[in-house]
Chains A and B, each alone.
Chain A
Amino acid sequence: MEIRKFVFKRLIEIIVIFFVILTVLFLLFRLAPGDPVTRMVDPTMTPEDAAHLIAQLGLDQPIWLQYIYYLKNFFTGNFGISFHYGVAVFSIILNRLPNTILLFSTSILLSAFVGIFFGKIASWHKGKKTDTWMTLGALFCHTLFLPWLALIMIWIFGFNIGWFPLNGMISPEIWLDSSSGFWLKFLDVAHHMVLPLATLFLIHFGSYLLLMRSSMLDTLKEDYILTARAKGLEEKVIRNRHAAPNAALPVVTSVGISLAFSLSGGALTETVFSWPGIGRELVFAVSNSDYPLALASFLLIATVVLISNLAVDVLYAYLDPRIKY
């Protein structure tokens, strides 16, 4: 009951914030240097033709009028047509989004699970060799520079050993062949995903490990852990039932926020691995002043961030009985 009220209130807030973000983004892109037309047209075009093109895109109108049009279209579910591709922005995003979600949610969930698991173990052996090596390993991986690691991975496993494809998400010959079934396609994508997934995993699991470790160390100092020990419970039970659920709470927040930001944060990875996702499209749209595409991509990210924050709050209420809204 109370939680429904809370979610409703937060949704209203989210809608207001969303339109503030929309307005700011709209203005920012128009104020940024460079315009889409100079990138599109070839230099031999007459000024009249260029002006005609600008008028066609609606860019000769005053900004406030453009803004009104954008809002009007937005409410009818029309996000505009990409200047560059000439197709509806909506369909481009719809096409790219699942690829990004596939790669990043897999990598975040995988690194969170591994990080939580080993963070728990490291904290349990605090100050011993296990802890030292795990912490050092986590720190080392966490501080690696992502594009560098990505290139090294491609160089070793893709180029030298040749286990995995160099880039991309699918092998065209398999997908164009009508005889290949679901499993073949599935394995093909999985095969392409190994290197980007491993790269993202190596970069991210360390932060979860360190977070879980320090959170566990704080939790282990709590009185209820002493109670659990005094009850004569086995160490394993104390660790898994009494300490870990409490210690995992901050990690859950972190996972939620990472999931949200992965949509944008993936630009580097997607570019290096030529992964056809939203992050790569975003970089491309911004550098080409493809206003409708860039704006829609950013709005998507904003929405995901806002919604996942809400989701984390709700999840928290489920995990921690003390939290009431």
Chain B
Amino acid sequence: MALLTVKNLSVGYHTRKGFLKSVQGVSFSLDQGKSLGLVGESGCGKTTIGMALMGLLPDNASVTDGMILFEDQDLLKMSKKEIRQVRWKKVAMIFQAAMNALNPVHRVSEQISEAILAHDADISEKAAMKQVESLFDLVGIPQDRMRDYPHHYSGGMKQRAIIAMALACHPSLIIADEPTTALDVIVQDQILSAIKDFQNKLKISVIFISHDIAVVADVCDNIGIMFAGQLVEYGRIEEVFDAPMHPYTKSLLASYLTLDKDVVQLNSYIGETFDLINSTTGCRFCERCSVAEATCSLVAPEWVEISPTHKALCYQCK
């Protein structure tokens, strides 16, 4: 039984220029203990999906279609109070390593125990603090740094503290939105292994949102490639990496540096980003596609199954 099933999710933003269809018809499912990577360029809608899962979409956003089934309950149909109880208790989030995810005027330990206290009416403050101590052990921050303020922490420590915070209520799903983006590669590696570690130990499902396909390859079981608000390829990590089907996935993988290949010139994309307000019916990638045919720009592409676990949204894959 899938822990999370997203069906045909469509989200848009009301903007001054018109209704911006940020996410269109995205479907995927995630089993308990598994991890899914969502990869795509900026503005492709991956963060919007994350926010929709948390029920944290901004005021100008509206979900136009679809459902998000989490433990057989539709998150989109929940009242504000119900979704507040799901947040962090069931679905937690690791934010970007930006300086600001922790409140500067409260101690780190207080910010973590606050989450525990908010979801467990019976626990005492002392017991919550005890839990925070064990969380700090788990993510590898010395306990004597618990009562520090966020600005005393380095970027890596902050991110560890945020991971500790995400684990505080023993959620069954964690959404990690670009968790390593602002960190240098060494710290990035430490954070990724920390995430992999707790995922294996605690059997938590993770949705990993990133623009870095290499990061996702490292930690995820499944991968979904997103382009212009649509999922364009979905499959197990090794399937997608070994035999990418969608032209966009191919070009993404081609522009990814490896040590075992000599790359003289990196691929760079030609063309503008897709217009999400006045979108056309045809394939969204066809303007940038090297194998596009005349019909591609006229007819919407359909899913092509390559294997039971691997599919791509492209006519040319047949």
A interface residues, Cβ below 8 angstroms from B? 222-224, 226-234, 237, 241-242, 245-246, 319-322
Contacts and interface: CB of A to CB of B under 8 A. Distances in A.
B149 A321 contact: yes
A224 B103 contact: yes
Given A234-B84, A246-B105, A322 B151 contact: yes
Contact of B93 (A230, A242, A320): A230
Interface residues of B, number: 29
B53 to A, nearest CB: 11
A119 B89 CA distance: 32
Contact of A232 (B111, B118, B162): B118
B119 interface: yes
B220 interface: no
B86 interface: yes
Contact of A231 (B100, B106, B118): B118
B98 interface: yes
Contacts of A226: 56, 95, 101
A230 B102 CA distance: 12
B54 A230 contact: yes
Contacts of B119: 232
A228 B103 contact: yes
Contacts of B111: 227
A242 B115 CA distance: 13
B46 to A, nearest CB: 16
A241 B165 CA distance: 17
Interface of A (DSSP majority class): helix
B84 A227 contact: no
Contacts of B114: 231, 233
Given A226-B101, A227-B101, A229-B56, 15 more contacts: A223-B96, A224-B103, A228-B103, A230-B88, A230-B92, A230-B95, A231-B87, A231-B115, A232-B87, A232-B88, A234-B118, A246-B104, A321-B104, A321-B151, A322-B149
Contacts of A230: 54, 56, 87-88, 92-93, 95
B200 interface: no
B98 A231 contact: no
Interface in B118-147: 118-119
Contacts of A237: 118
B171 to A, nearest CB: 10
B105 A233 contact: no
B190 interface: no
Nearest to B152: A321
Contacts of A241: 106
Residue of A241, A321, A322 most packed against chain B (CB within 10 A): A321
B85 interface: yes
Contact of B105 (A228, A231, A232, A245): A245
B93 to A, nearest CB: 5
Contact of B100 (A223, A320, A321): A223
B84 to A, nearest CB: 5
A284 to B, nearest CB: 46
Interface in B263-308: none
A320 B101 CA distance: 17
Contacts of B102: 224, 227
Contacts of B165: 227, 231
12 contacts: A222-B100, A223-B101, A224-B102, A226-B56, A227-B111, A227-B165, A231-B165, A232-B89, A232-B115, A232-B118, A233-B118, A321-B149
Contacts of B106: 241-242
A154 B96 CA distance: 58
Contact of A242 (B56, B85, B103, B151): B103
Nearest to A233: B118
B104 A322 contact: yes
Contacts of A233: 84, 114-115, 118
A232 B86 contact: yes
Contacts of B56: 226, 229-230
A48 B89 CA distance: 93
A5 B268 CA distance: 56
A237 B84 CA distance: 13
A236 B130 CA distance: 26
A208 B290 CA distance: 60
B95 A223 contact: yes
Nearest to A248: B105
Contacts of B98: 223
Contacts of B89: 232
Contacts of A319: 105
A225 to B, nearest CB: 8
7 closest residue pairs by CB, A with B = A232-B87, A223-B100, A224-B103, A321-B149, A231-B115, A232-B88, A232-B84
A228 B105 CA distance: 13
Contacts of A234: 84, 118
A321 B95 contact: no
A227 B165 CA distance: 10
A233 B96 CA distance: 20
Nearest to B100: A223
Contacts of A242: 103, 106
Contact of B85 (A229, A232, A245): A232
B112 to A, nearest CB: 9
Contacts of B96: 223
Contacts of A232: 84-89, 115, 118-119
